[in-house]
Amino acid sequence: MIPYGKQFISEEDIAAVTETLKSDFLTQGPKIGEFEKKFAAYIGSDFAVAVSNGTAALHLCALALNVNEDSKVITTPITFAASANCVRYCGGEVVFADIDPETALIDIDQVKSLLEASPKGTYHGIIPVDFAGYPVNLEHLRKLADEYNLWIVEDACHAPGGFFTDTKGVRQNCGNGIYADLAIFSFHPVKHIACGEGGMITTNNKELYEKLLLLRTHGITKDQALLHENQGGWYYEMQELGYNYRLPDMNAALGISQLKRAEENLERRKEIAKKYDDAFAGTNIQLIKPAEGYDHAYHLYIIQVAKRKELYDYLKKHDILAQVHYIPVHQQPYYQQLGYSKEAYPYANNYYKNCLSIPMFPSLTDTEQDFVIEKILEFVQ
């Protein structure tokens, strides 16, 4: 089977994990700080907080931003459910804004219409997603967010290494914290950097950073400067209701080792995308191509075709396991029970009918890619 995505583990990765297994630390130890520092340097943010997975990262962001029963938060229906669920974990209301069919990203004009239709103060934040690796223009979104006093949590799970160029001509890496208050990443095996399970929050906001550190580990601190009193060497205080969302040191060791190849792997992803682009040009396969000034990170390579289910089955018959990203979140039974209309987001629904993610991962061989292309062209022709 050729899957749509998979991890790429090298001998060096295995050696890095083995070394940590032989060390004194399995849960949070020295590898965490090292991973955070190196990841922040790669992305270009001031701070990074390693956590147990991307979902935990989203939950901690929602907690740090005080999402509660009174919060209304906007996100896209074309994303993994976790982008929306973090609002629900804190009792808030998720409001979806439809996508732009050209990019499959949240449509900033739709966000604007939502904001204009309610009194200022109705909405509290927005969670844009750099879906498939296509960077959201956060400069535009920030302008709107400032007008309505909203925070931004960028879900950059698909986009480490992606960037857009802002109106000043400056490269803005996904997750660099310039326009978003917080950004999150996942290190699930199919992502650019695999930790098994793992996640990261990046930010340039020191206050939020310190709050996240506390929330990541039960709300407990041993920091002398923060303690209300000190009863002895053992003493710690639980100052907030936090969680255990720590990343184990073994996973961080793998992440550090993977990070070394991040740029090389990203280049390979771009090479694969270019070959698909060329192969499908002039056919009735619809592609999403990044606009000028946007550097796509190609977590996914998505095609849109009329007979998607038939193509999925045809590829599976030939041992190619494509996937669909995503079933719109508002269509999920949980959100249906909450009263969301299935028909409310026509661009998202229409995109879902035709989309298919085809194999895209750095270790995909030329022979495998040629076979995938051959089978897809055979089907559409």
Ligand X SMILES: Cc1ncc(COP(=O)(O)O)c(C=O)c1O
Pick from 75, 71, 76, 74: nearest CA to 121: 71
The token duo for 18 is 């083995």
Cβ proximity to ligand X, 358 vs 376, nearer residue:
358
Rounded least distance, CB 331 to ligand X, Å: 16
- Contact between 357 and 40 under an 8 Å Cβ cutoff? The reply is no
Rounded least distance, CB 154 to ligand X, Å: 11
Cβ proximity to ligand X, 221 vs 359, nearer residue:
359
Contact between 83 and ligand X by CB under 6 A: the answer reads: yes
Contact between 80 and ligand X by CB under 6 A: the answer reads: yes
Number of residues that bind ligand X (CB under 6 A): 14
Peptide bond into 326 cis (omega under 30): yes
Contact between 205 and ligand X by CB under 6 A: the answer reads: no
Q: Which span sits near ligand X by CB under 6 A: 78-86, 100-108, 219-227, 241-249?
A: 78-86
Torsion sign, CA atoms 75, 78, 81, 83: negative
Choose which of 7, 20, 45, 53 interacts with ligand X (CB under 6 A): 53
Q: Measured over all CA atoms, what is the biggest interatomic distance in the chain, rounded to whole angstroms?
A: 76
Cβ proximity to ligand X, 98 vs 154, nearer residue:
154
What are φ and ψ of residue 129, in 5° steps? -125, 130
Helices 249-259 and 11-21, interaxial angle, to 10°?
A: 150
Choose which of 36, 47, 54, 288 interacts with ligand X (CB under 6 A): 54
| Amino acid letter, 174 | C
- For residue 165, the number of C-alpha atoms closer than 13 Å in the C-beta half-sphere is 8
| Amino acid letter, 109 | D
Contact between 154 and ligand X by CB under 6 A: the answer reads: no
Contact between 204 and ligand X by CB under 6 A: the answer reads: no
Cβ proximity to ligand X, 82 vs 115, nearer residue:
82
Residues 108-147 touching ligand X, rule: CB under 6 A, are: 129
Distance of CA 294 to the CA centre of its chain: 17
Give, in order, the Cα–Cα distances in Å from 323 to each of 212, 316, 358, 378.
34, 10, 7, 19
- Contact between 191 and 162 under an 8 Å Cβ cutoff? The reply is no
- Distance separating alpha carbons of residues 380 and 288, to the nearest angstrom: 18
| Amino acid letter, 254 | L
Choose which of 114, 157, 266, 303 interacts with ligand X (CB under 6 A): 157
Choose which of 64, 67, 78, 82 interacts with ligand X (CB under 6 A): 82
Contact between 106 and ligand X by CB under 6 A: the answer reads: no
Contact between 77 and ligand X by CB under 6 A: the answer reads: no
Q: Which span sits near ligand X by CB under 6 A: 153-161, 236-244, 346-354, 368-376?
A: 153-161
Choose which of 31, 124, 188, 268 interacts with ligand X (CB under 6 A): 188
Q: Which residues pair with 295 in a beta bridge?
A: 163
Choose which of 186, 258, 331, 349 interacts with ligand X (CB under 6 A): 186
Rounded least distance, CB 188 to ligand X, Å: 4
Name the residues that contact ligand X, by CB under 6 A: 53-55, 79-80, 82-83, 129, 155, 157-158, 186, 188, 199
